């Protein structure tokens, strides 16, 4: 059992040793063979995100393994993150999974709220030295916020610009 010192203040910053606990856990598992991973929320019960299947299909056709973390043990979740070179997911607790990745993983976060950039995620990204992109993927047809409401994920013009700038075929 490792009991870490307080190393993060979610809205303020972190101490240098913040990432140590995640490194210690990652080093105890064998990395999965998946180099490109899409973390999905579609298997969650009572989920209010609509059209995430579009992004699952889009990334599956580009060689990404589609992963529903809630169906896996924590060991398997860590293993998948430890082996990944590139991760795509929506903004939220799933995007925090990069804490178990190696440094410099490429992370694309599909934003589910046009007015929200996650400060805790920015701290995670900096601590893990993530190469990250926040991409607006929200079709705002109903009122919604990051934590509640119906969210319609959509390949917005910002998503198309992200693909073009990263030389990813649409």
- 17 has pLDDT over 70: yes
Give the span between the Cα atoms of 82 and 28, in whole angstroms: 10
Residues 39 and 94: beta-carbon distance below 8 Å: yes
Least confident of 61-65, 82-86, 114-118, 134-138: 114-118
pLDDT of residue 143: 59
Nearest 5°: CA angle at 69, between 139 and 20? Answer: 105
pLDDT at 25: 95
| Per-residue pLDDT at 148 exceeds 70 | no
Local confidence band at 82 (pLDDT 50, 70, 90 cut-offs): very high
Instruction: Considering only residues 19 and 150, tell me which one the structure prediction assigns the higher pLDDT.
Output: 19
* pLDDT over 60 (residue 147): no
Q: 83 or 138: whose pLDDT is higher?
A: 83
Considering Cα of 68, then 131, then 64, then 21, what sign does the dihedral take?
negative
Q: Which residue has the higher pLDDT, 60 or 145?
A: 60
Mean predicted confidence (pLDDT) in 62-75:
96
């Amino acid at each position: 059992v490792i009991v870490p010192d307080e190393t993060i203040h979610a809205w303020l910053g972190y101490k240098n040793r913040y990432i140590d606990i995640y490194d210690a856990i990652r080093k105890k598992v064998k990395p999965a063979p998946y180099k490109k991973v899409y973390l999905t929320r579609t298997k969650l019960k009572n989920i209010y995100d609509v059209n995430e299947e579009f992004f699952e299909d889009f990334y599956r056709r580009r060689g990404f393994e589609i992963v529903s973390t809630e169906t896996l043990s924590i060991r398997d979740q860590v293993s998948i993150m430890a082996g990944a070179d590139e991760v795509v997911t929506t903004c939220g607790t799933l995007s925090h999974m990069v804490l178990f990745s190696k440094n410099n993983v490429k992370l694309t976060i599909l934003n589910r709220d046009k007015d929200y950039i996650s400060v805790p995620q920015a701290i995670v990204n900096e601590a893990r030295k993530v190469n990250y992109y926040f991409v607006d993927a929200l079709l705002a047809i109903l009122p919604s916020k990051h934590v509640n409401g119906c969210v319609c994920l959509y390949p917005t013009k910002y998503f198309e610009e992200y693909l073009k700038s990263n030389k990813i075929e649409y």
